[in-house]
Amino acid sequence: MLTPKSTQERTVSQDPNKTKFQTKYQIKEAKKAEKVAAKARKSIDFKEGTDSASTLTSEEPFRLRNMNFSIGRNELIAVIGGVGSGKSSLLAALAGDMRRTNGGVAMGATRAFCPQYAWIQNTTVRENILFGKEYNRKWYDEVVDACALRADLDMLPHNDQTEIGERGITVSGGQKARLNIARAIYFNSDIMIMDDPLSAVDAHVGRHIFDNAICGLLKNKCRILATHQLHVLHRCDRIIWLQDGQIETIDTFDNLMRDNEGFQKMMASTAQEEKIEEEDKGNEDEVEDEKKDAKKRKVAKRAALMQREERAVNSVSWSVYGAYIRASGTILNGPMIVFLLILSQGANITTSLWLSWWTSDKFRYAQGTYIGVYAALG
């Protein structure tokens, strides 16, 4: 017969061993719950912006949207819009300098990009225009004349062989812009992408470049021109108006002036501002012309920025060396110095040899002998 004690089941609290096991398990579960809660609090703090690193990727980068257009081979397209509307981004995308995330771009010809900020090499004016291409005298002269660079070249000390300082420090902003345009035109590609090249030049120079370069040498090519000079829009085939990274409208100048009220207001305000600016700049242009004429008369044929250094070759006679030795006190100092130099060099060579002989114990000398000779030679 089994006693009640032997048949009674213990509860968890009654079994001391089981109680001990359950207590450890509860502690382990409690620690695990605390870790989960800590991670949850950290995640909440991260989402609420308490972590400063979380704000680095919160802002979406600027991107172009809803771009859908095609351009013919002989068209002149103007790209206009306010500051930050995406004009430079559109041209950079066409030039291949912007990452494409959707859609496609198809170009059936070569392209040349004239960026808004000119990049000038530390070399001659001609090399800045050629940019590695073969020199064609006739085409080169046409490009220089169309970009209004002839007067500047005549003022320079060595014409187009004058060297330009690093990052174009020796030329003005307008000259940099015209060199930039001339380089793109000389490349003679089928598609010309120009990011507001007329903004850095004077009004009359801008008209000369637009007439003789953009509408002259490039008249049979595809030209995409981003500009703030709205007075040239009536000479463009079509106009792309950008707003906030997307196309507001694409149409001809006549249609926009007739049907688009926003474009009419923009042209009216721009015409008034340009009229005031032209009146203010009238006297300034005259003063600049006088300064250029005076500089042209006074300019001298200066040396190039970078020139070969002069150096004397085989011009020191033996009598000079003899006088130098006699100046030390006696003529015997010369042979003595030569003897000491030979002795020093010989001791230096022998020291290395002696160290190898010592390592191999070639002469079977005592250690003191090897050390003494080594010290004497050193």
Q: Which tens digit of pLDDT belongs to each residue from 275-295?
A: 655 555 554 554 455 455 545
Q: For 18-45, how does the pLDDT look when each residue is reduced to its tens digit (9 = 90+)?
A: 433 445 556 667 667 777 666 655 443 4
Q: Tell me what pLDDT residue 120 has.
A: 83
pTM confidence score: 0.58
- The pLDDT of residue 340: 92
Spans of the chain, pLDDT less than 70? 1-28, 30-31, 36-58, 270-312
The predicted pLDDT at position 65 comes to 84
Domain 76-96+108-280+292-298 listed as CATH 3.40.50.300: yes
pLDDT for res 259: 83
Q: What is the 3-state secondary structure (H, E, C) of the chain?
A: CCCHHHHCCCCCCCCHHHHHHHHHHHHHHHHHHHHHHHHHHHHHHHHHCCCHHHHCCCCCCCCCECCCCCCCCCCEEEEEECCCCCHHHHHHHHHCCCCCCCCCCCCCCCEEEECCCCCCCCCEHHHHHHCCCCCCHHHHHHHHHHCCCHHHHHHCCCHHHCECCHHHCCCCHHHHHHHHHHHHHHCCCCEEEEECCCCCCCHHHHHHHHHHHHHHHCCCCEEEEECCCHHHHHHCCEEEEEECCEEEEEECHHHHHHHCHHHHHHHHHHHHHHHHHHHHHHHHHHHHHHHHHHHHHHCCCCCCCCCCCCCCCCCCCHHHHHHHHHCCCCCCHHHHHHHHHHHHHHHHHHHHHHHHHHHHCCCCCCHHHHHHHHHHHC
Task: Quick: pLDDT tens for 211-251.
Answer: 898 988 888 889 999 888 888 888 899 999 888 888 888 88
Please report the pLDDT score of residue 339 as a whole number.
92
